[in-house]
Structure 1
């Protein structure tokens, strides 16, 4: 299956040179015609999906080699990829819902894979948030078929895409989904689940630009602030994904769906690499995700080196993959968009550099005061090094290779404007060591108070205490089954007392007859 994905990606990439865009039909045994879309968006996204999936599945043999239910994991991951391919290629509303629900159900099953309390609570939060989008998908269908209100259809589609892509205020489920295995996180955060909503917005040519610009800026700033105050290694990478999803929404807000799609592709490359390298570090310390305990850059030279490559591409350093898309989005802000959002976006770029440098410090730095756990002394085998090398090479050169195809034209700006992204990157380098020391613990751990710090179920139970006293222990206590049985017990005693009065006339009549 892994080699099949890899060869399919090569075949798709070869056919891109002679691509004829359009829509074609496939006859399904004379039952119906299957409508499929053939354009640059679908082919390039599917090629990226196959490359990332093949590398992640090859690497998962190392990470989950001791799992007893590894076949169940592979089956769920393949179903996950198939659902995403259905969403990419088939524009029919029926098959779009199948792919959309397939992503939601399989992501829920993968989040609760370990079946512990944390995974089940995270799965509940992920499932409930994604169910909002599924319900809105069903509500949009009658408006599309029978209604004439394009406004309500736009609102429904925007909201369901925001829930799947974790935009504000639906951002809380994305860090919670870190309870899933790390290979699942590498797929979810790179090229499958979180990109599905933005891909639909690109496909549908969505036009609520100011709203997307505002929500994307809020998401980027919130995720950047929380990532700077976080010490969980996987959660930092998850919050970095949330920040880059905000960048993609900003690209749609500045009326450039091609730049949004370009950043979606380039982000998927180095984010999958980042998750795989973080997984190697976590696996080497027996599952610990606390970044302050990592003190072994020499023992994991491959992972530490490639974390630097992926983090450098993440912060948009010239001339890595993330630079070409972010620099183009910054240039588009010179076309007269609100100045406040421009300043917030550049501040978000600085915050991106902050947590990127934090990841580099975690890979290279050492904390002598921390308790250093015993390391696994296993040597990385070829099926671990091979996907890491492939993703590392693509993370460096992929942005340049795609820029010639996806960036058409340029904005006329002066030379000093090209230095602004680099200036904010250097400013982030200076702020990185200091900003993580000052944070509000409750605010950073709860995603700006979107979710509680502890388990979701415990918070719900605490808030439902008054309801329990009023309803469960109040009205239902007396009017429900327990109250009825109590009253029935009193009726039994009354029945014993009333029995002589009821049957005495009958006994008298029988006595007089005889």
Structure 2
């Protein structure tokens, strides 16, 4: 008997089994309060040990359990989504390498060992973004890896700075880093997190990375690549307490949250709308972390991972069904043809909006209430309010265009919930998106937060949500008039819809500046001073020396006499 091994099923079982083990050990660690650390010393330089460290505490095990759970669902989903691809096995190996890199990054509390996972994520993400091997994918992959290299350089510089501490373990030294001595180190770590989590001005690569296959997008935007920066900041949060870096991180993350929400209301690409919603939620996580609540950032990170993976998987089913289109204007009335997928997608969208008693509600509502209750400046407060309303607005717009609304599909579209592998892989995540928020809130916060605010501020989140939803729905009802009116202010629509020209600035302007400076450097240095002091200068110097030696070889008495006289004069001057 010949056994045929299906790679998507074996990968799913392997990842799910490891997820169950991690979550079981997490419960034991959380109840006992014990942290296990495994350390290998690679080398020792001047009493400074270069070590590879793996830490097993409740934070790393819980997050790793969620990463493996979502990865298992995505691998099973890929078995159907990528079924006809000629490079199916290569794709599956790349995704497994991606998950392995994330696992190394999650378990490492040491900047030396964290580089293994950190650089692995960047390298494998490039290979996955360019998977379809066309010009658009190549450009998106280059933008992705070049943006992430900025963060990699920041990590390398941080390693050099932390050598002065005698340890690269930021668990041990994080609480002792004061601004007057270690502000540059904190700045570099924040920059590294901002590049990985695509905060302003590094936001352009996140929507561009949608060139990757949809299962990769589901993995990247939920629990792996973009969350690495947030997770690094959660681990590094003890060093940020009381630091001036907090205010910088707060204002940048709030601006990112607002910019992404605004851009999603002008976008028509289904995957890019969901990508911009990820960018907005990353801003929420980093902003509450900047306010000094890393536990709330972790809570939202975990709950967001579940419904965002589900949202991307639903988007992949929809794109498959409508013949590969991603423009939401070519969809409509999908609820009549794909009731199960549309139900899952609606649950994920409502969880994203913070609908009561779904996963997103428990984390997002608590974050907003704690932010409103904190010592927060007026700009950040206004950005929080607008970003929350815009989230509901673009969600209602997405539902109106694609799930309900008028029928705009092509005549040959075969739209149905007929793929059992895809629907089964989404079922577990849909249940998690419904119940996991309450379970996590019971686990992570056995003692609830004390929220003290007046009734207006308490109900402000609900009011913003309702107003945002109504405004988004009303604008879409009069979508024809709205589109015509938007032509009158075309330049503003282009600005808001293009993420404030960030993709343009990140690609064309940077490449122009680098090429211009390259031409100047070539003229001044490569063909100028380098030639004069380098190869050409040495050539002329050696030529003159060889001319003298050549004359000496002909035994010319005049030359010897001149050399003798010059030698006597030099010797006389030295002796005098």
> In 2, are the aligned partners of 1:324 and 1:400 still within 8 Å (CA)?
yes
Alignment CA distance shift 1:114-1:266 (3 Å) = same
- 8 Å CA contact 2:198, 2:205 repeated in 1: yes
Is contact 1:304–1:363 with CA below 8 Å preserved after alignment? no
Range 232-241 or range 402-411, more displaced: 402-411
How far 1:302 sits from its partner (Å)? Answer: 1.8
TM-score, normalized by length of structure 2? 0.77
Q: Within 2, Cα distance between the matches of 1:141 and 1:474?
A: 34
Give the aligned length: 478
1:249 corresponds to: 286
Distance apart, 1:137 and its partner CA: 1.0
The residue aligned with 1:237 is 274
Provide the C-alpha distance between the structure 1 equivalents of 2:116 and 2:454, rounded to a whole number of angstroms.
48
2:202 is aligned with 1:170: yes
Match of 1:339 in 2: 378
> Structure 1 residue 354 and structure 2 residue 364: aligned?
no
Q: 1:230 to 1:35 in 2, by over 3 A?
A: same
Between stretches 314-323 and 31-40, larger displacement belongs to 31-40
> How far, CA to CA, are the matches of 1:126 and 1:27 in structure 2?
33
Select the residue among 303, 313, 321 that pairs with 2:359: 321
RMSD, aligned CA: 2.9
Instruction: Return the match for 1:451 from 490, 498, 503.
Output: 503
Which residue does 2:158 correspond to in 1? 140
**Equivalence for 1:490:** none
Flag structure 1 segments of 5+ consecutive residues without an equivalent: 482-514
How far the C-alpha of 1:371 sits from its partner, in A, is: 5.8
Cα deviation, 1:48-105, whole Å, max 9, x if unaligned, reads 0011001111111111111000111111110100000001112222220111000000
C-alpha contact 2:51 2:113 (8 A) present in aligned 1: no
2:247 corresponding residue in structure 1: 210
- Tell me the distance in 2 between the aligned counterparts of 1:245 and 1:461: 28
Say if 2:43 is the partner of 1:25.
no
Which string of whole-angstrom CA distances, capped at 9 and with x for unpartnered residues, describes residues 485-510 of structure 1? xxxxxxxxxxxxxxxxxxxxxxxxxx
SS at match of 1:451: helix
Give the match's secondary structure for 1:289: coil
Tell me how far apart the structure 1 counterparts of residues 53 and 158 of structure 2 sit (CA, whole Å). Answer: 20
Question: Stretches of 4+ moved more than 6 A in 1?
Answer: 28-33, 459-481
Match of 2:323 in 1: 286
Provide the secondary structure at the position in 2 that maps to 1:169. coil
Q: Secondary structure of the residue that 1:193 maps to in structure 2? A: coil
Cα pair distance change 1:431/1:379, threshold 3 Å: closer
TM-score by length of 1: 0.86
Q: 1:479 to 1:23 in 2, by over 3 A?
A: closer
Greater Cα offset, 103-112 or 385-394: 385-394
Hey, what does 1:432 align to over in structure 2?
472
For the residues of structure 1 that align with 2:285 and 2:422, how far apart are their CA atoms?
Answer: 30
Q: Deviations over 1:102-149 (max 9, x none)?
A: 000000110000110100010111011001111111111111003794
Change (3 A) 1:379 1:247: closer
Deviation at residue 463 of structure 1 after TM alignment: 7.0
The alignment partner of 2:53 has SS state of strand
Tell me, yes or no, if the aligned pair for 1:307 and 1:360 is still in contact at 8 Å: no
Structure 1 residue 469: deviation in Å?
Answer: 9.0
Structure 2 regions of 5+ residues with no counterpart? 1-10, 45-49, 166-176, 477-481, 532-576
Equivalent-residue separation in structure 1 for 2:330 and 2:141 (angstroms): 28
Q: Are the structure 2 counterparts of residues 46 and 466 from structure 1 closer, same or farther at C-alpha, using a change threshold of 3 Å?
A: closer
In the alignment, is residue 70 of structure 1 matched against residue 110 of structure 2? no
Could you tell which deviates more after superposition, 31-40 or 277-286? 31-40
SS of aligned partner of 2:452: coil
